[in-house]
Amino acid sequence: MSKSLYPAHLVSQWRAPDGTLVAIRPIRPEDAEIERAFVAALSPEARYMRFMMALKELRPQMLERFTHIDYEREMALIAVVKRHERELQIGVARYVMQADNESCEFAIVVAADWQGLGLGRHFMLLLIDLARERGLRIMTGQILAANKRMLALARVLGFSIEDAPDDFAMKNVRLEIR
């Protein structure tokens, strides 16, 4: 059971440049299998960029944690397409509220076949809007310094980018949500 009511009003659609309709919805406990398969199918590099560690599969506790969320304190949007009558997850973007109750940290990953089409940008704009509606004022993220694409995306979205003080391989990004 999730800890708060499913926000069904946040279900939406996004049209890819080739016309494919992509469903976007807050993650639910029932999405555990497509989330597991999505992470397992990512390249090792993409998994490392997202989780900052070598990881082949989500461990059961991580899967539970990622799919049973408290929508009051966090949000995870998944992007899903229909393939052979089944759902295929092609991306996920989430934020988690911090203890100060006014800032949140984001994380995002888009499947390789779907990168460079605008989904990452669309996800981030949705996430920023939701954080604003939730009353949050700051969104932060940690990005590997080598992750040029995510850094470029953060920059166009208005995030400030700084070297992480304790780790030269990492950048801290921060957006004041207005």
Ligand X SMILES: CC(C)(COP(=O)(O)OP(=O)(O)OC[C@H]1O[C@@H](n2cnc3c(N)ncnc32)[C@H](O)[C@@H]1OP(=O)(O)O)[C@@H](O)C(=O)NCCC(=O)NCCS
Q: Which residues bind ligand X (CB under 6 A)?
A: 46, 49-50, 107-110, 115-121, 141, 143, 147, 149-150, 152-153, 156
- Nearest 5°: CA angle at 114, between 164 and 32? 80
Residue with smaller CB distance to ligand X, 29 or 116: 116
Q: How far is the CB of 5 from ligand X (least distance, A)?
A: 28
Residue of minimal Cβ distance to ligand X? 120
Question: What tokens were used for 28?
Answer: 């639910």
DSSP the chain: --SS---GGG-EEEE-TTS-EEEEEE--GGGHHHHHHHHHHS-HHHHHHHHSS--SS--HHHHHHHHS--TTTEEEEEEEEEETTEEEEEEEEEEEE-TTSSEEEEEEEE-GGGTTSSHHHHHHHHHHHHHHHTT--EEEEEEETT-HHHHHHHHHTT-EEEEETTEEEEEEEEEE--
Residue with smaller CB distance to ligand X, 6 or 88: 88
Residue with smaller CB distance to ligand X, 26 or 91: 91
Q: How far is the CB of 85 from ligand X (least distance, A)?
A: 25
Q: How far is the CB of 1 from ligand X (least distance, A)?
A: 28
Q: How far is the CB of 161 from ligand X (least distance, A)?
A: 12
Residue with smaller CB distance to ligand X, 2 or 142: 142
Q: How far is CA 99 from the centre of its chain?
A: 20
Q: How far is the CB of 93 from ligand X (least distance, A)?
A: 8
Residue with smaller CB distance to ligand X, 127 or 177: 127
